[in-house]
């Protein structure tokens, strides 16, 4: 099978030298790619800007912004068999991007506009393709995950917390439409990827 994986952050430019982003390292997506390749699948990795190196054997398509990621995944969607969205896509972007570096005192506020919901758009057009998403939450993780499952039309949602960013292992909870909520305990990201693929039948 050919699996589409999104990973890493997005960067939303404010001026030529500044941007809005987050702490995502892309390591969860790399683990998903590694384990998919180990299972004999092909991997198409849509990757935001990260410092780490993706697994050898993955087909990598680099993007910067949320809009670029949305355009890429919708273009690739017809040619893949399953989808795992682990990217930390920025919810908002600056309404305008200055062509020159903004100086101190030139602006007191930054107007933001909403970015496309990449996972929700994939859910809208995926058909019957297996589809997993991730939710990094700081409170009421399971409740938020269940809401996201419905809104994004996904099969499974992995809940983690900020401690997972850059960590070798973390606590994960698996929430699905057709399975009960499962506390997976403390796992490496590779082990979590294997559990996820088992649940998806991949």
pLDDT digits (tens, 9 = 90+) for 178-202: 667 878 888 999 999 999 999 999 9
CA 88 to chain CA centroid, nearest Å:
5
Q: What is the pLDDT of residue 82?
A: 98
CATH number of 2-98+109-200: 3.40.50.10300
Instruction: Check pLDDT > 90 for residue 160.
Output: no
Residue 93: its H or E element: strand 92-94
Is 153 an active-site residue?
Answer: no
pLDDT tier at 177 (50, 70, 90 boundaries)? Answer: confident
Phi/psi for 128 (5° steps) reads -100, 10
Structure confidence at residue 8 (pLDDT): 96
Tokens 């649940």 label which residue?
199
Query: 40-49, 91-100, 132-141: which range is least confident on average?
Result: 132-141
Q: Is the pLDDT of residue 4 over 90?
A: yes
Report residue 116's pLDDT band, with 50, 70 and 90 as the boundaries. Answer: very high
Residue-averaged pLDDT of the chain: 91
Give me the mean pLDDT over the 22-46 stretch: 96
Assess whether pLDDT exceeds 80 at residue 164.
Answer: no
Query: Is the pLDDT at 33 greater than 90, yes or no?
Result: yes
- The average pLDDT across 130-138 equals 87
**Dihedral class, residue 57 (left if φ above 0, else alpha if ψ from -120 to 50, else beta):** left
Question: Which of the residues 22, 115, 160, 178 is marked catalytic?
Answer: 22
Kindly tell me if the per-residue pLDDT of 70 is higher than 80.
yes
In this prediction the pTM is 0.92
How far is the C-alpha of 117 from the C-alpha of 176, rounded, in Å? 20
Q: What is the pLDDT of residues 99-108, one digit of tens each?
A: 998 888 777 7
Q: What angle is formed at CA 128 by the lines to CA 119 and CA 7, rounded to 5 degrees?
A: 30
pLDDT above 70 as % of the chain: 94
Instruction: Classify residue 80 as left (phi > 0), alpha (psi -120 to 50) or beta.
Output: beta
């Amino acid at each position: 099978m050919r699996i589409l994986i999104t990973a890493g952050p997005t960067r939303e430019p404010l001026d030529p030298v500044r941007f809005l982003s987050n702490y995502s390292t892309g390591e969860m997506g790399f683990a998903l790619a590694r384990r998919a390749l180990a299972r004999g699948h092909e991997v198409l990795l849509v990757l935001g800007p990260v410092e780490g190196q993706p697994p050898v054997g993955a087909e990598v398509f680099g993007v910067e912004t949320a809009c670029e990621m949305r355009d890429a995944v919708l273009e690739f969607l017809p040619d893949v068999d399953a989808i795992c969205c682990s990217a930390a896509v920025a919810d908002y972007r600056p309404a305008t991007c200055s062509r020159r570096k903004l100086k101190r005192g030139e602006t007191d506020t930054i107007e933001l506009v909403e970015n496309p919901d990449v996972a929700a758009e994939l859910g809208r057009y995926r058909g019957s393709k297996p589809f997993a998403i991730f939710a990094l939450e700081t409170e009421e993780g399971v409740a938020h995950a269940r809401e996201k499952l419905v809104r994004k039309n996904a099969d499974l949602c992995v809940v983690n917390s900020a401690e997972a960013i850059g960590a070798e292992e973390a606590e994960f909870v698996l929430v699905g439409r057709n399975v009960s909520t499962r506390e997976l305990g403390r796992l490496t990201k590779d082990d979590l990827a294997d559990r996820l693929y088992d649940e998806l039948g991949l």
